[in-house]
Amino acid sequence: MKANFDSIDLESQLHDCLQQQKNCATIEGIESIAVRKAHLLSLKAIINDHREALIEAVNQDYGNRSRHETLLAEIITATDDINSSIKHLKNGPRYKSAKWT
């Protein structure tokens, strides 16, 4: 079954979402390293808490994909990336200007 999306509506929704994020960042400012670390640790915990459900969902999507392959390619990779991000938080954020169209 193919989803039917209205591209104009989707574009509008994405623009609104990005604008809300921009407004929030402007009002609240940049998150502290401690808050970022807490968010990353929370994400890692969610991935680990729902590991089996994630593996099963990927298995269904790919049609009988090996549990170990999913564990290596998806779960471990994601948690390693989170660990790396936490490790490099002390270097501080890298700011760059983004063009808003």
75, part of any domain: yes
* Tens-digit pLDDT profile for residues 63-76: 888 999 999 999 99
1, part of any domain: no
Say how many domains are in the chain: 1
Q: For residues 71 and 63, give the distance between their C-alpha atoms in angstroms, rounded to a whole number.
A: 15
Structure token pair of residue 30: 């940049």
* Tens-digit pLDDT profile for residues 3-41: 555 666 888 899 999 999 888 888 877 788 899 999 999
53, part of any domain: yes
pTM: 0.67
14, part of any domain: no
Q: Which domain holds residue 60?
A: 28-89
59, part of any domain: yes
37, part of any domain: yes
Q: For residues 36 and 22, give the distance between their C-alpha atoms in angstroms, rounded to a whole number.
A: 17
Residue 39 to residues 44, 47, 78, 80, Cα–Cα distance (Å): 9, 12, 14, 15
Q: For residues 56 and 49, give the distance between their C-alpha atoms in angstroms, rounded to a whole number.
A: 13
